[in-house]
Amino acid sequence: MKVDKSKRFQFSERSERARYIGLVYKDFLKGKVVDVGSSGSDLRNYVKDEYIGLDILEGPEIDLTVDLEKQSIPLEDNSVDCVVCTDVLEHVENLHEVFAELLRISSDYLIISVPNCFNYEILFRIYFGKGIKFYGLPDDRPDDRHKWFLSHNQSVNFFKNHADKYDYSVVDSYGHPLRYRGLKGYFILMFVWLFSFGRYKELSTMSSWVVLKKNK
């Protein structure tokens, strides 16, 4: 099993993210695959074997409806070949317990991603007093919020430390870069690089991706 790094590309929409996972992590999407936080279950198109879409909201493409902050995942230990959980953990208060649940049901692989909140786009918005999606204090109560303000390095270290704790190994870790557009975007990246003081990767990363494998 290997990550196809040559297939990596920039994306912003959920359907594009599903295609990204389907191309980059194709070798891991075999046997029974559970997609945690599946929403429209776009990843189903890239799984040849058994696919289970799990989400907090019911829908025509959802196979299991679970509130991860209140319920355990109704699957047996070691019953899933690959668990996919992308941009979900930051939404739950009980992040540590939910992460342990993902490790519990997996018999082989876990593909996980979380946003990096310390990239230059977010930090610039904070510096200039602008709002940040999923954070801040909007006029109306939002339907969804991020419960954790994560950095790339912190997230990768968390997953690596917990991999050791639960007898998993890290197959791959990757900081997915921000998308920059045109000449303006290029000069912004150059500015960030010049004044990053050794933290360029942290500042230019959009999300943190890790693949864990259960030791056997």
Question: What are the chain's domains?
Answer: 5-115+148-177+207-214 (3.40.50.150)
CB-count burial class (<10 Å; 0-12, 13-18, 19+) for 80: buried
pLDDT score for 181: 64
Distances (CA, A) of 166 to 9, 15, 29: 31, 31, 22
pTM, whole model, 2 decimals? 0.90
Report strand pairing: 106-115 vs 205-214. antiparallel
Report, as ranges of residue numbers, the positions in the chain whose pLDDT lies below 50: none
Q: What is the predicted pLDDT for the residue at 169?
A: 96
- What pLDDT is attached to residue 182? 66
Answer for the pair 147, 156: CB distance below 8 angstroms, yes or no: no
Contacts of 114 (CB under 8 A, 6+ apart): 87, 89, 90, 148, 150, 155, 207, 208
Q: Which two tokens stand for residue 168?
A: 């998993």
Q: Label residue 115 exposed, middle or buried (CB < 10 Å: 0-12, 13-18, 19+).
A: buried
In whole numbers, what is the pLDDT of the chain averaged over residues?
A: 89
User: According to the model, what pLDDT value does residue 10 have?
Assistant: 86
- pLDDT number for residue 199: 74
Enter the DSSP assignment of 60: T
Cα distance between residue 18 and residue 11, in whole Å? 10
User: Residue 161 has what pLDDT?
Assistant: 93
Tell me if 63 sits within 8 A of 55, measured CB to CB: no
